[in-house]
Structure 1
Amino acid sequence: MLVAVATSEAKDNYVPFVESLQTTQLRAAADAAPKGQDDPIVIGISAEVPSSLAVEPEESQYEALADEKAGPLTLEETQNDQVLDNDLSLFGYDVFSSVRTSSEPVAGIPVPASYRIGPGDSLIVQLYGKRNLEYTLSVTREGDILVPEYGPIKVAGLTFDEVEVLLSEGFERRVIGTRAVVTMGELRTIQIRLAGDVMQPGIYTIGGLSTLIDALLTTGGVRSSGSLRNIQLMRNGKRIVTLDLYDLLLRGKSGGDQYLAHNDTIFVPPIGPIVYVGGEVQRPAIYELRGEQQLGQILDMAGGLLPTASLADSHIERIRKGGFRTLVDFAEIGGDVEIRATAVRNGDFLRILPLEDQLHDVVLLTGQVERPGGYQFRTGMRITDLIPSAEALLPGADVDFVLIRREDPATLRTEVLYSNLMAALSQPGGSADHLLQARDELMVFSLAQSRKQALADVVADMKLQATDYRPARLVETRGAVRFPGVLPLQESARLLDVLAMNGGELVGADQFYGVIARTQYPSRRIQVVPFSIAAARTQPQGEDNPTLSHGDRVYVFDEQATRETVLTEELQRLREQASFVEQERLVTVLGEVRYDGVYPLVEQMRASDLLCAADGLSRKAYGVTAELSRITHTMEGESSVEHIPLDSVVLLQICDLARRVALGEGSPSEYVAVYADDLHNPQLQRMDQLSFSEKMGWFEQATVTLSGEVMRPGVYAIDRGETLCEVLDRAGGVSEEAYIFGAVFTRNSIRDMQQQTIDELHAQLDDLMVELSLSHSFNNREKSSHEWAGKQDYLRAIQQLQKAEANGRMVIDLENVMTCKSRYDLVLEDGDGLHIPVEPDYVQVAGQVYVPTSHLYRGDRKIRDYIELSGGHTILGQIKHAYVIQANGEVLNVKGSRTSSRIARKTVSPGARIYVPLNVDRMNGTEKAQTWVQTLVNSAILAGLVL
């Protein structure tokens, strides 16, 4: 049997989406229910939803708006493109999607007093007092109940309240001293019909207490093509009620609901006129119309407008006669009252658009502050209204600079304003305490954060708004500033303002010479303007603190790099813009100046300007004369060079006077007088060269180091041309234990030459090792495998050579040097060193011997004796190419007839090193490889390397 009511606690724990009328009555009558044999009634709906039916809560539009607005305030505006994010669906039909049918019999539900008794109902009568009896009486088809001992009683058509009074009073009259209690037992079932646009049309058997809404909910509901506002209940061929489900869904009213009777028909006609509502309303959906004619009624059905809705900017998309669409713009209708009174038609699409995503009457405070965010704008508001004191700043804030980002309401272009924050705090209301405008953003910077990163969005906006005839107001700073890069430029900003935006110049920056490179429009030619930071600080409102233009590139120099290196790009641009009739606007300073190289030629530039740009003369310069070289070209193509002598002293005086004037210490009139002297300080022309020579006989301070067995070892200053013998005499000579033959003399220039040779060899070692690993030696078939195993030793020796460093040793005959004879004189250089050891008592054997080690020196032992004491040479060793490196650095070669016999007769000196090289023929058959290895070994030994 199909039951149309939802019990308070069904076996499947089902909780209906819409509470049925009977459940509502259950709540109201629970406390007054008769106790008889009724089952105990469980009041309330279980709060626990089964896990199988648990659904993630849907995010409301308010929650979505809260998520969007909960982030930091921003002045960025979004585009309102009139596209709706809502997926519109028919309103109300989802109420049937979660409803389940149930075949449970009705039990334990109180019967309302107005319930009419009919055939099939069961009544329970309980007597207590003088007689204790209980009757279960069923209503017959004739409408009677058959009471034992009393006969039939007509109850059909009576309400439950009337039957209760009838039976209780009747029993109490007939049975003296007895009281009667009447309650309902099992209820009857009825059959109804569902027809029209319903999900499951047909005949259903339902409980007698079912209503029209109950039947719809438990039989699958209405199709999307059916009407929710014109549901008809037919009884005996007549329509007795019309149900509008919108009353229940929108207003919670169920007045149109009706108890069903046997053979009732529920008919659902097709859906009526509709209107689409989307956008900024509570319930975007497709609504069915039933008498609603005005826009205000439609908005009420949709739950009203969201706070973000802009009704005046909304419109209706309407179908007109002829099949075309048009728009009804609310802005043309009038105010809110007139808009709400606008007539709606079937098929209208109502678009409720959002407000413009724009903040008005607000200013933003960002950066290194305690409380960043939005603040209400007030007329007359200044910087100090947002930052009243330094306590509002975080540690590390830049108090010398603050930037205001502003949008011009007339042109919509982004602009910036500079200010000194400390000056504003020191004098509220002063010139540094700028007036703010609505939608300004006040940016406070950190001394540890890059300005390029902090202002990236501002720079991007300015670049986006730029055109060819209206370039972006940007300036680029390079060189010795704290935060170089491309940054926004304020209208009429000066040099010091831009340097403050860059965090100021670094320690050691040149205070007297800098360059502004400016691209001139529309010619796009490069103009170079010099500046002096010192002069700009002395007269911040004068010409020495120039006003910058958009696209300027500011170069600040220091001691870390030459001027020419920093200006590489600008110099290249100047070279590229040269033509047949115009040479490059470049000049060169050469010789003994602090920063020589190529410089841009500026307007009215003179020789002293170029000397000042090069930061003056070096200490080696001949400060008496200078030479200006100028190339002259004729129309016939001939060229000549003119050399103009100048007085270096005058140029230095002019440069020094210019610096004192920049600092506010010198006389400007005196400077102008000497500066404009064309004879001593001529104007420069394109490609001029100004050179300064070195002083004749200039000698840098030089020292040598004596160590070891010297009477007074240490570091000695030397004069130009002083010899080693003279210095040894100053040091008291050598001690008695000195081993003069083994003295080690080193020189820096020798070390550099040796290292250059080794570096050149290193560049070719990789190719050699690859060739050795790929090529085959001679007579491979005749050689044993153990010979080839020595190949790894050979490659290892090359790798050791690769790691070696030159020691700068130079072989000298110290014994002859100490005689101080002119033929043996050794003139010293700066950095020379002499170490005299104690006479050693050993001879070292290295290279391709079985046990490389040192042996006790004996005068009667020959070279071969020491090699045999080390186990003899290995298979890869080549004895005839052995070398002897004497203690004084001389190299003796065993190879060669006359040389070999001479060495054989000569005894090895103490401290000597005998070296047995590799046998190249056994390792690699290519003559090229053999030559390479010999060259490497010879170079290493001659360079004084230890292998």
Structure 2
Amino acid sequence: MRRMLLLLLLIMPFSYVWGDTLTPGDRVFLQLPGEEAFDDPYTINDQGQLRLPEVGLVNVAGLTVIDAEQRVRQKLASIYRNLDEFKLTIMEQLIRIKVLGYVEKPGTVSLKPGSNVQMALSAAGGARPGAQLDKFKLLRNSNTKIFNYKAYLDSGDQTLLPSLKGGDTIFIPASSLLGNIEMNFDDMSIHERGDADEAQGITIFGELRNPGTFSFKPNMTVVDALMRANGVTRYADVTKIRVITDGMSYRFNLSTYLETGDTSNLPPIKPGTTIFAPIEAPEKTSTDDTQGVTIFGELHKPGTFSFKPNMNVVDALMRAEGVTRYADVTKIRVITDNVPSQFDLKVYLDTGKTDNMPEVKPGTTIFVPIEVKDINTTSRTIYVMGEAKAAGPYETSPGTSFIDVLANAGGPTRFADTTNIKILSNTKAPIAINLVEYAQNPAKYTLPTMSPGDVIFIPEKVDLNEKSWLKVTNDRAIKIMGAVYKPGRYEWHDSMTFMDLLAHSGGPKQQANLSNIRIIKESTAENKGHEVQFFDLQAFTKQGSPTNLLPNLNASDTVIVDELPHDPTDNKAGWIRQAAKDSIYIFGEVGAPGRYAFNQDLGFLDILSAADGPNSEADIQEILISHRNGKTSRLTRFDLARYFETGNEKVLPKVSAGDVIYVPKTESVADTKAVKVIGAVNTPGRYKWNNQMSFLDLLAMAGGPKQEANISNIRIIKESRVGKENVIYFDLESFINEGGNFAGLPRLEAGDTIVIDELPHDPSDNKASWIRQSSDDSIYVFGQVGVPGRYAFNRELGFLDILSAADGPNGEADLRQIRISHRDGNKTKVTQLNLSLYFETGDESLIPKVVPGDVIYVPRRQGDWLDKPAERVVRLMGAVNKPGRYSFNTQMNILDLLAEAGGPTDNAYIDRIMIVNTSCCGDKSQTFSLRDYVNDPSGSPLPLLRPGDTVYVPDQDDSVTEQFRQGIRDALGIITLIVLGAAL
């Protein structure tokens, strides 16, 4: 090892770039051949000394290499004789720096010349979380220099860091936010709630996402400060943000700034500025109660905090992260030196004046009470009463209008009479406001000005659902009767029209005669009788007449809307009212042949649909139409099937009033040309068939399947096949829902028969038709349900569907013990369901999946007495008609209990009813005579009975008299036996 070091020293070109003298921390090599103690290099300690073997400490700091070598040689000469080859060489020159304060490893570190503060800090393990980065100190001899390490980290400018020399000391201070007690550092808290003290920072609190105290930066605006707190919350009133700078209070409207972008109204921001966003932010530090400030009440983090000089109430509140949105900021209580005082934070934020701000000292107690509803009688209050969404007192400012107050109160409710709003004042006469007229024409309606103390009263509108006609007098009401949906008596206003009244009554019914509406006008002073007017609403709507042709209605008028016959074919009693010139006749194979009203706006298809269309036996290819003009007749033959095939409107014949339409019955079609459709279709029967038709064509000719048809299992019976192959099954439901190729439709031939089964009309109707339902499509429900049985089921349905199909559980069902047997054909698995828990939680994961083939069993409830705890019932036993456990409360007495149990039996001994009272300190017993109470209620008070007690009504056999009588009988029996024995 020594030889290697010698070789290195010989071949290395040394240039003393580190300096001319030795300093603490330098590493030197002492060349002394033959001595193993000098094989390793030595380091000059902080006192500038080398510790050498056999010699001890040698001072070399401040000496040149030659001088140091000479001094060491002199020291070694007393021990070692051969020093001809001794040489001192510098291997590495270092500087020693002390790094103290809030660092991970405080102490002295060795650095290379030219190292900076960051290297020294890194050698000491780095700064601890919570270190004050902008106030580092460099101590050199007796001088102290403060520098901003944070600014260096922000910019990377090394000129901001002082140069280091051996012997320097770097001190890292702790942040003032840490307080006096060592705690786990929450860097997220500092990040979110601020990183500056109250004097040099900006305090932001209230309805902000991260309130706190933050560092001030030059040219900072209010918006910059708000964004430093991550912006306002959704509860913030951005129109009334308050800013206090140099004792001046500013109000800032963030909403106006965002709309206009005008920066002229931005308040100035300086160190120490306080910003408050109305309705709702640094780290809490607990300390000694006598030396700290105790803050509690409606605050985000109440507690005891360190006292700081010149601390005020607002500073103290910010130490608790500001008040909550429930705090009453006008009644904050401060106790200093045992003298209580009250502080109004709201007044301070409005004015910025500190005259009434209580002094804060060590030991001060601050209480922020919760805001409670009290009577608001300030000099700026306006009251809103009646049918408003948020009625109550509201503080106003000069220029507040009636609409402003009404909008702040949420506006009128749907029950409000907005035509008769009143403003009440102590100085002016009441003013009526019609909000409806104002909404129709705001420019021509003048709203009154509001003054503090005024009352806005919004009355409730008249409930027209009540039958009392006195709610609306006759001079304000109009009546409508007949074929309207809501006939009755309605409140009337001159701004309404006939159409308003008709719409308010629900409109005319379908069978209303709109061409002859009658209006009865009440008698006037000039006309002693009433006047009847007629109005044709049907012609009015068709011709698009102007609104001024509507009848002029007034209050007290009566409108009558007559009703047409309910059925156009109902002409047995009312046909005479229908003129022959306005009628058309239709006979033959239609759903409802007869005589129908007809006009020139109608056509052939209209009259055919009015007669319910052709029935299944109609021959629609041979329809006959007789055209009559009163003198001659002309016959037309019409093929309706051709119209259905082509859709050509020109083939439809023109018919008019007086014509006769005859739909003949179709002739019998041979099986070789027909296909039969039977089952659940609208018009089953035999239909002509040709090869151009498809399965869907034939189904449409049969009127389509009925709603209750089972279209998932249609059977087609082929006449041309024999055996099992003559039946084909087709799933029309899957074809409709999932789609399919039309080539996949079953191919029909003349002579085939289509059978469409009908589902049960009632899901529980399986007594006669259950055999037609496949077990693969069925599910079974047994037990305590409304209609147990076997139900059709598919995989799109669920447990609740089948339970509701069975009319749900009945009153005897035990919802906690429902069992489902899942059967897959090979094995069975049983699932237990607590349906009551599902109803309580709504957790869909509790509902099991059921498939066709499963069995659901709802058991009978065994008894629910366990559901009633003993402390809420009274036990009644003995000679009563219905002994048992009864629910009991403090409003009941023993007579209620006996009455609920059906009263005592005929053999009950009511003179000595026993009651056992249960209490915390032991059970107590008492007796009660029902007979004495009946004879003298005032002299025999009812005993106190509480939940948890036990009442026992004894039998007559248990009475003392009965027992005495039994004893006499027994004694007489014994005597009789003795006498008989003696006689024998």
What is the TM-score normalised by the length of structure 1?
0.27
Question: Larger relative CO (CA 8 A, sep 6+): 1 or 2?
Answer: 1
Q: TM-score, normalised by structure 2?
A: 0.26
